[in-house]
Structure 1
Amino acid sequence: MNNYSTTTLKMTRNFDVAPERVFDAWLNPEMMRKWLFTLEGTNKVAQNNPQVGGTWEIIDHRGGKDYRAIGEYLEIDPPTKLVFTFKMPQFSELEDTITVELKEIQQGCEMTFSQNINVPHEEKWSEADIEKALGESHDETEHGWNLMFMGLKELVETGEISYKG
């Protein structure tokens, strides 16, 4: 038996802008620091090397603590597809894979987001414990992305996010 299980979160969002604008928000550090795992007011680091094999890093400072998110770009196909890894080393060495696909629609673009979430097991967990952990992780991750995607929508459609944190 593995010491982790995987669940997949899939979400779809529409934006009233061209796919290029949304794609840029995933890779431009000045835009990333306003919404991706952080807010402008709490961001300490937003840096990346947006090429296949390149890495990204975001450090957010909240409640007296630094939260570090890192990953590597696996696929970059502007403005339609971005695939990258994601992990927060202070919580787990497990790495998730995130895929962002964008397509033009009549009014703007549609973003399909999916994240393969790896959930570590604790010793002596039953199947029910594993299922509960997978469900909780899925729901918590979805909640976090819902908040971030609200900020992303506001950022790409207006240029700013009203909530500064």
Structure 2
Amino acid sequence: MNYSTTTLRMVRPFQVSAERVFDAWLNPEMMRKWLFTLEATNKVVKNDPRVGGTWEIVDERGGKEYRAIGEYIEIDQPHKIVLTFKMPQFSESMDEITVELTPIDDGCEMTFTQEMTVPHEENWTEADIEKALVEFHDGSEHGWNLMFMGLKQLVETGKISFEGMEEN
């Protein structure tokens, strides 16, 4: 199977310490509120936050289960997390995500990078590949943007209110 890769990079400020944001990426009680899932629809959160450890989240929407899994490659508290990410029901391809946290004056800044693997169909042209890369990039950016709005509320206020966060 041929594939291409594209990189999604997003930067977000938080008005809390890097430790607090770092914890939201690794603490199952916090993960279930924002990472690929919401508390109301979450079925499973398993996490073994060490290098070589794995994580798994199962979310149920509209009677269908969505499973996200991965493995930790690097954990440098509270500065950096590198992990793999895959949704086996949609694709065998695996992405790599890097989360870097840098202290700033009133909190921290998160730099999120996702190296995305985009599989090709056999008969695709360069234009088809380009279109898929843009769709994967923009679709992922939209999804992460919603998640990061929830993450920001969670770490800054202790809860997610969902005002303005519903999908249209």
TM-score scaled by length of structure 2: 0.96
Distance 1:131 1:111 in 2: 28
2:147 is matched with 148
**Matching of residues 71-150 of structure 1 within 5 Å:** 71-150=70-149
1:20 is matched with 19
Give the secondary-structure state (helix, strand or coil) at the position aligned to 1:111.
strand
1:32 is matched with 31
1:8 is matched with 7
Which one-letter code corresponds to 1:79 in the other structure?
P
By how many angstroms is 1:100 displaced?
0.1
Unpaired stretches in structure 1, ≥5 consecutive residues: none
Worse-matched range after superposition: 28-37 or 154-163: 154-163
Distance 1:108 1:126 in 2: 46
Amino-acid identity (%) = 74
Distance 1:83 1:62 in 2: 27
By how many angstroms is 1:47 displaced?
1.1
Unpaired stretches in structure 2, ≥5 consecutive residues: none
Cα deviation digits, residues 80-110 of structure 1 (max 9, x gap): 0000000000000100000000010001000
Distance 1:3 1:105 in 2: 41
Distance 1:45 1:15 in 2: 27
Deviation above 3 Å: which 4+ runs of structure 1? none
By how many angstroms is 1:162 displaced?
1.2
Distance 2:12 2:45 in 1: 24
RMSD: 1.1
Give the secondary-structure state (helix, strand or coil) at the position aligned to 2:82.
strand
Worse-matched range after superposition: 70-79 or 155-164: 155-164
TM-score scaled by length of structure 1: 0.98
Distance 1:42 1:8 in 2: 29
By how many angstroms is 1:54 displaced?
0.1
